[in-house]
Structure 1
């Protein structure tokens, strides 16, 4: 059975109360994409919500308080609405009127705090509990596209037919990309069983709450699951079910959705614009399910294989995986030129491991690289285990909010930047690196009583992704620095003294694209690399800590930029729409004008300074494109022209699964 993908919390008995994580606003000048996640609060306003909450107040008062806290903590870009049920029909028998008593009181739209708060306080406990009807209507309110969540808070079992569990199963069977997270507020055994079934049928989670504090905590967790955004960017494209009519995609950023599980796949056609060129293809998404995996494969039209890869979701909690990313290269590992001379077919499908992530927004990155003319003198890929370069103390770069994904990652210059994390959050930063350089990062967490080891069991992580996605972190580098408890790793548990983790890539070399080692494949192109820092929540989903944990993030790009750089035939160049122009030495010379300056240097910037910075960035970008070479510019998939000098490519291989620091076994989909 295909699982539903939406976070929904049913508010049984008209009470949704929650305290939600306040998302930090992006730094000035950072790209701020719209949040496409859609959330509807479903508030149970049945008569039982007038019962005591167990802490000196009533359930409805507790719900109002918790929901107000949740709304206050929501990101301004969140798409959110609200529906109530059991709020207008008089108490009594389960009449047709009572069993269809549900109203959308705030439409799903960009966050409107006044309207939501007014609706939260407007309704008092009154009627019956038509939970199934409310769920059906909420699914309609959210539409049929995008990532959709229902937050249902309920204090009792449904008093109307049909059984809400059957309704949830029907929604799942129809392929509705909807997840329902349910909070059971002081419910009995029968209601608990019913509400647990609703959550399970839609791949949501059930959270018990016995008082105002528990309700607020549960809603905090649910809100984070439902609204935390991963941004994708690019030109929309729809893969076909047959390779014969597959849409053409060239170098650039493209967006689609993950195909359904089973035998369903999506096909795309790649055309060589330069003889002997190769493609680097990356897939990145953020499924709302754990243990999900894609299969990327490229072949010629006659079926000859040109490589495959298995992007796998990873996360920072013990059993939670949040980000799915991986890269595939068509660069030959032997002397075969079959894949250099014909159109290629890209096939994207879900593997038979893990849970179904159908409908999840997915970003496809395609880079076309010419054959280098100096291939015989380029260094081959490095040994599987690289070396950690020395990392001296560097200057402070101030503070940065970080981004929620590749699309809005804050740019960092080498140095130390202070960031803050809440349990369950991870932040994205981008760092430019040229040919021959490495990217390295150390994240040091402060000592904070709220995260004491006896009560914490939270994991701090830092990892590095390549410009096309895919894990570039070297999992077993030599010469890693020592910490209080031994050699540093990219992931470790916090303790009473805080925590410290570190990550590094192999030297960036074009020859890495044909490696069998996945992290070397990801270290095969000069450009923007992504440093990801994460803090896991408690594995049982009951994390109540709202105290931000301060992290000092130090990044560096050791090595000589431009060393071992590829050369190409006259008029040939790497074709990409990554928004970065590389100089002849492979060093990034310009990027999107919105993030030309380090995010850490923007604090206190007024509008005049912003205008000056933008003008300066535009001038810098223009200059960079002139320096890049006197060759025609390449039109990207998004309509932006950028010239890249140098090579971009990668190799196929199994992805390293991050987070716990060890590979986690994927469950076979049942």
Structure 2
């Protein structure tokens, strides 16, 4: 009985103001939803003191301005490693276009395996930024086993004295290990694919709110989806894309009733692959009329895309959930009001899935580089990422997107069931007692 009540309470909390699920991704709020099982780890000023990161786990850390932090991984010679690092600035941070994050992965001799950076750009709006460090097998450098070091640096414009920028900013690190192939395949990237933009989807839009982080990204299947977004808010979605399939994504920001004004980089649409690696990023200004950001046509997902020259093609290297991330500039509030503004997402997945390349083992995250029937079911249902245990029935109710009134009815109904069963139990006990 307690489980019924607890499930109802959790369900109500997920939709009521002040509930933890709402607080994590509340409209207008820039709070990032870290994974519930994140482990705290401190970055070191020297590689000598670097804490160990283990693939398959996620970590939470922080970084101050002007500091370069080190973390350690222990890798074998046959595994490709990815370490996405997400920088989470506070909502009131003042940022410049060149502010952001830079990461690199190095071997024990200081040889760089990779460099990557992410910056806020012309929108000048604080939002989560992700850069990926990686060690790939089959290359010339960084091929031995042993310790490797992840170096993380927060980029800040010289002379920035903003109080909000001077404090420590949060980090989320999510290292992933990709097993070697059972049998080697082609080592050249495809040179041509269907790069024509498909016919726009004309379906009636369904309602689908977004998550507030990678860990809570809302699953989407092909279709047209609508929600509201407020200045400063970032919405996370995930779409299952199998081997041999292509993904197309468009975000449309609806028109405003306010006249005049212009916000540079108001709408930002980013695409990340299953290890959170950057694939593409498109920003659009806003004048009050509707505007659209569209991810460039990308090749079908294939293992050999990793041998391409351009980052967007290289990013489409494995099957799994691809993340569609939408941000609305905080500066929209000054010119066009607090919103919410209408947001329409059009997502298309085309192509016939085929078998994967054949890994010689499973990654630490089970079935990370494939699309399972359960993944497709989650996308069809619009499931939020599972952040822990709980009653499946209550999760199903939450997935359905119930409103506050419905949640209260569920809660009251649960209490009624419990009360009636307790009363019935007391009557049976009383009836069984011997009379004096």
Q: Write the distance in 1 (CA, Å) between the matches of 2:31 and 2:262.
A: 25
Q: Identify the residue that residue 298 of structure 1 maps to in structure 2.
A: 105
Q: Identify the residue that residue 590 of structure 1 maps to in structure 2.
A: 374
Q: Identify the residue that residue 177 of structure 2 maps to in structure 1.
A: 368
**Equivalent position SS for 1:560:** coil
Q: CA distance change for structure 1 residues 332 and 358 in 2, over 3 Å: closer, same or farther?
A: farther
Write the deviation string for residues 385-414 of structure 1: whole angstroms up to 9, x where unpaired. Answer: 982441452644620221122122211111
CA contact (8 A) 1:411 1:431 kept: yes
- 1:320, distance to aligned residue in structure 2 (A): 2.4
Aligned-pair Cα RMSD in Å: 4.1
Q: Write the distance in 2 (CA, Å) between the matches of 1:457 and 1:612.
A: 39
TM-score with structure 2 setting the length: 0.70
1:329 is the counterpart of 2:113 = no
Q: Identify the residue that residue 410 of structure 1 maps to in structure 2.
A: 218
Q: Which residue of 123, 137, 144 maps to 1:318? A: 123
Write the deviation string for residues 435-459 of structure 1: whole angstroms up to 9, x where unpaired. Answer: 2222211223444423x4x235463
Q: Identify the residue that residue 432 of structure 1 maps to in structure 2.
A: 240
Q: Which residue of 85, 104, 109 maps to 1:283? A: 85
1:386-401 alignment, distance < 5 Å: 387-393=195-201, 395-396=203-204, 398-401=206-209
Higher Cα Rg, which structure: 1
TM-score with structure 1 setting the length: 0.48
Q: Which residue of 336, 341, 361 maps to 1:549? A: 341
Q: CA distance change for structure 1 residues 264 and 463 in 2, over 3 Å: closer, same or farther?
A: closer
**Equivalent position SS for 1:542:** helix
Write the deviation string for residues 66-119 of structure 1: whole angstroms up to 9, x where unpaired. Answer: xxxxxxx9754499xxxxxxxxxxxxxxxxxxxxxxxxxxxxxx99xxxxxxxx
Q: Write the distance in 2 (CA, Å) between the matches of 1:318 and 1:612.
A: 37
Q: Write the distance in 2 (CA, Å) between the matches of 1:251 and 1:592.
A: 25
- 1:381, distance to aligned residue in structure 2 (A): 5.8
Q: Identify the residue that residue 466 of structure 1 maps to in structure 2.
A: 273
1:201-600 alignment, distance < 5 Å: 224=28, 227-233=29-35, 234-262=38-66, 264-272=68-76, 275-288=77-90, 289=93, 290-291=95-96, 292-310=99-117, 312-314=118-120, 318-332=123-137, 334-336=139-141, 338-351=142-155, 353=157, 359-377=168-186, 380=189, 387-393=195-201, 395-396=203-204, 398-450=206-258, 452=259, 454-457=260-263, 459-473=266-280, 490-495=282-287, 497-504=289-296, 505-513=298-306, 515-538=308-331, 542-543=334-335, 545-562=337-354, 565-569=356-360, 572-573=361-362, 575-577=363-365, 586-590=370-374, 597-599=380-382
**Equivalent position SS for 2:136:** coil
- 1:335, distance to aligned residue in structure 2 (A): 4.2
**Equivalent position SS for 1:439:** strand
**Equivalent position SS for 1:407:** helix
Q: CA distance change for structure 1 residues 238 and 280 in 2, over 3 Å: closer, same or farther?
A: same
Q: CA distance change for structure 1 residues 265 and 419 in 2, over 3 Å: closer, same or farther?
A: same
**Equivalent position SS for 1:472:** strand
Q: CA distance change for structure 1 residues 535 and 300 in 2, over 3 Å: closer, same or farther?
A: closer
**Equivalent position SS for 2:393:** helix
Q: CA distance change for structure 1 residues 527 and 408 in 2, over 3 Å: closer, same or farther?
A: same
- Flag structure 1 segments of 5+ consecutive residues without an equivalent: 1-27, 34-72, 80-109, 112-222, 476-489, 602-606, 617-670
- 1:333, distance to aligned residue in structure 2 (A): 6.6
Q: Write the distance in 2 (CA, Å) between the matches of 1:592 and 1:257.
A: 33
CA contact (8 A) 1:366 1:576 kept: no
- 1:229, distance to aligned residue in structure 2 (A): 0.6
Write the deviation string for residues 314-365 of structure 1: whole angstroms up to 9, x where unpaired. Answer: 36x63224221111221157445x4243332222233465666753221112
Which is bigger in relative contact order (C-alpha 8 A, separation at least 6)?
A: 2
**Equivalent position SS for 1:467:** coil
Number of residue-to-residue matches in the alignment: 368
Q: Write the distance in 2 (CA, Å) between the matches of 1:608 and 1:394.
A: 36
